[in-house]
Amino acid sequence: MATARSASGALNGPPALNSMTISDHHKSPVGFTVAELLVGIAIVIMIGAAVLAFQKNISSLNNFLSSNLIAQSDARKALKMMTAEIRPLSPSSTGAYPIAEAGTNSFIFYSDIDNDQLKERVRYFMEGTTLKKGVIKPTGEPLAYNPASENIIELAHDITNGLADSITPIFSYYNTGYDGTTPPLNEPVDILAVRLTKITIIMDSNPSRPPGPITLTTQISMRNLKDNL
């Protein structure tokens, strides 16, 4: 009997121990299988990647919006400056006509922009997608405007008037009969006929993405050239 029980115990005991050992073989000390750990790690990595991508997109959007706002602010300041300088244009300090050139992407005129009683030669013009301003002060005896002394500054960037799908003149010119619907003067513009200029600035920091271009415009009547009073 003892031998039978011993044999039975020998037969029944070890399989239970082996079964428990095999069952726990692929589990970590905290009770997770290797497969469960791998799945958990993969999920954490995916969540981390999604968070990083979201943060990158937010940062990119913030930079884009900031760039757009700065460009718009610069353009508005440029329009304000041009209005203040074009409206009172007058004959140069050497007696030349107030307007020297009236082009679609450049406008050259004479105006006392710094209140020193001398008329500066002012040139607003486009170079690529940048609006620039050049100023020549008259010097010498007798007074003369030396092109080599022109001081050029940048006023606004990201201007897209000249893009193939958006060709719009920066400057349009009108004569004394302008009523709001009159077409602009034809090219080449007769500077003696100009009484008003319309300035249109189309801006887009990134044409390949929304929200699309922004258009700023203003009209400037040249008070010293009025002949319809």
Mean pLDDT on 109-132: 97
In tens, the pLDDT along 48-100 reads 888 887 777 776 666 666 677 778 899 999 999 999 999 999 999 999 999 99
Quote the DSSP letter at residue 98. Answer: S
DSSP letters of 129-168? TEEEEEEE--BTTTTB--GGG-EEEEEE--B-TTSTT---
pLDDT at 24 exceeding the cut of 70: no
CB-count burial class (<10 Å; 0-12, 13-18, 19+) for 52: exposed
Q: Which of 3-17, 121-135, 208-222 is the least confident region?
A: 3-17
Cα–Cα distance measured from residue 227 to residue 159, given in angstroms and rounded to the nearest whole number? 34
Distance of CA 46 to the CA centre of its chain: 34
Task: Write down the mean pLDDT value for the chain.
Answer: 84
| Residue-level pLDDT at 20 | 46
Q: What is the number of alpha carbons within 13 Å of residue 136 lying toward its C-beta? A: 21
Q: Which residue has the tokens 């589990």?
A: 27
Q: What is the pTM of this model?
A: 0.72
Give the percent of the chain with pLDDT over 70. Answer: 79
Give the percent of the chain with pLDDT over 90. Answer: 56
| Residue-level pLDDT at 195 | 97
4 or 176: which leads in pLDDT: 176
| Residue-level pLDDT at 31 | 59
pLDDT at 12 exceeding the cut of 70: no
In tens, the pLDDT along 162-215 reads 775 658 999 999 999 899 899 999 999 999 999 999 999 998 887 777 777 889
| Residue-level pLDDT at 22 | 46
